[in-house]
Amino acid sequence: MRPLSLTVLLLACAGTLPAVAGEWPSGAREAFIRDCMVGAMARHKEGPARHYCECSADRVAAEFSSAELRQLQGADQVPAPMQERLLATSSNCLSQLNPAQ
């Protein structure tokens, strides 16, 4: 059996990796931040809430593919697995809500 070349092996592996670093559709990032702010400002001041929501939007774009971000845009209900990923991704930004004094 002839060994696979490194290029062929890397291309095969690349197909198994999830698509990441998606690009928000036009206006979707701003809508995400606006919706996030409504919930965050129920318990936090505007500054920390904005930092948290912007951080979350950036992290979501890094974690989700462009297709997934389009799916989120205008969705009335987010599928449970995707909602869990959103929460896990956004949890990386919780420190923005309670900055060190």
Q: What phi and psi values does residue 90 have, to the nearest 5 degrees? A: -70, -25
Please count the CA atoms within 13 angstroms of the CA of 6 that sit on its side-chain side: 0
User: Is residue 50 within 8 Å of 58, Cβ to Cβ?
Assistant: no
Mean pLDDT is lowest, of 7-11, 20-24, 41-45, 76-80, for: 7-11
Q: What is the pTM of this model?
A: 0.74
Q: At what angle do helices 28-40 and 46-63 cross, to 10 degrees?
A: 140
Measure the CA–CA gap between 90 and 60, rounded to whole angstroms.
7
pLDDT tens profile 16-45: 344 456 899 999 999 999 999 999 999 999
